[in-house]
Amino acid sequence: MISITKGQLLFLNIFAFFLIILYFKSSSSYYRNIISQNAHRDRKPYIVIYNRIPKTGSTTFTNAVAYDLFKTNGFNVIHLNMTKNRQIMSIPDQFDFVTNVTTWHERLPAFYHGHVSFIDFTRFGYPNPIYINLLREPLDRLLSHYYFLRYGDNYRVGLKRSRAGNNETFDDCVSRSGKDCDPKQLWMQIPYFCGHHHFCSEVGSTDALDKAKRNLIENYLLVGVNERMRDFIALLEKAFPPFFEGALSHFDGLDENRAHLRYTKKKVMPTKKTLEIIKNTVAYRMEKEFYDFARAEFDAIFKKATNGTDKAENIRLLSNQFHYEKIKPERGSRDR
């Protein structure tokens, strides 16, 4: 018979104790991984891209909706920072971006926002994400940007802007044909929707305008207008609740400053003569045509969604205008 000393027995007990701890640790880690994998599979891999255009209310929308709701609605928010404020990517960069966005599983579902022109994911073999955007009347947008460069806004008050100290009015700039008020500066919203084709940046290109319209209709879930942001948010909440559920009531509860972020501090309205000069340019006429096209589409969508009442609150109250019937096979017949 083998005799075991008290010391050996103590050692065996300690050894067995550590084996038990290691077993439970490995089991716990295994089951945590299983739970994590199941949770990952349960999450819908939605991707929303807001290729925001400067001075269209994009900071207000991004901060007051996306960054305020991501925890509640369970999605990730990622800012796409374009080098040197460019809005276009090379073909290799587009490929890398598309593959990164679609395969970054740890960051799905995801809301991307940044100053970038429309990217067609299908060119690289992937389905397009859900695109959204906001537009603004083109001359209003240019005026806001012109004076923003000089006087800043209510968002980053202490930041000195690039034209700080230059108090030249928009009228004076136009009279001397200055760079900041060049009609070419109006050519902004069309290129963002047109994409990365060579003609998109050509001021006055009818190909660019046509492509921008097609992309808006075919590749965007919704395009709103700056002056009707509340209606835009109400539609998004109903059209895509995984990201925007509760957005309207949250937006309505914001104080005045947060509901109007990046409001340009000072603007001097141009004279009638200046307005005539700008509005007679090709760039303005085409940008205005695109803006009016987008607004007409938004108006039609909003009218249908509110059943003709044109009240944002009614979007949530209106029941679905469809139902299912004549369903075959009947329930349970497959189990017989």
Give the model confidence (pLDDT) of 203-235 as tens digits. 999 999 999 999 999 999 999 999 999 999 999
115 catalytically annotated: yes
Residue 246 per-residue DSSP state: T
- Give buried/exposed letters for 255-282 (b at 16+ CB in 10 A, else e): eeeeebbbbbeebeebeeebbebbeebe
Q: Which of 40, 79, 115, 323 is catalytic?
A: 115
| Mean pLDDT, each 10-residue run in order, the chain (336 residues) | 62 65 59 47 83 94 94 97 90 98 97 98 98 98 89 56 68 92 95 98 98 99 97 97 96 78 71 96 98 98 91 86 90 58
Q: Which of 40, 113, 196, 250 is catalytic?
A: 113
Measure the CA–CA gap between 193 and 231, rounded to whole angstroms: 21
Measure the CA–CA gap between 171 and 137, rounded to whole angstroms: 19
Domain 44-320 class, CATH top level: alpha beta
Residue 318's pLDDT is: 80
The pTM of this model reads 0.82
113 catalytically annotated: yes
Dihedral (CA of 233, 237, 240, 245) sign: positive
Q: Are 190 and 288 in contact (CB under 8 A)?
A: no
User: Hey, where are the domains in the chain?
Assistant: 44-320
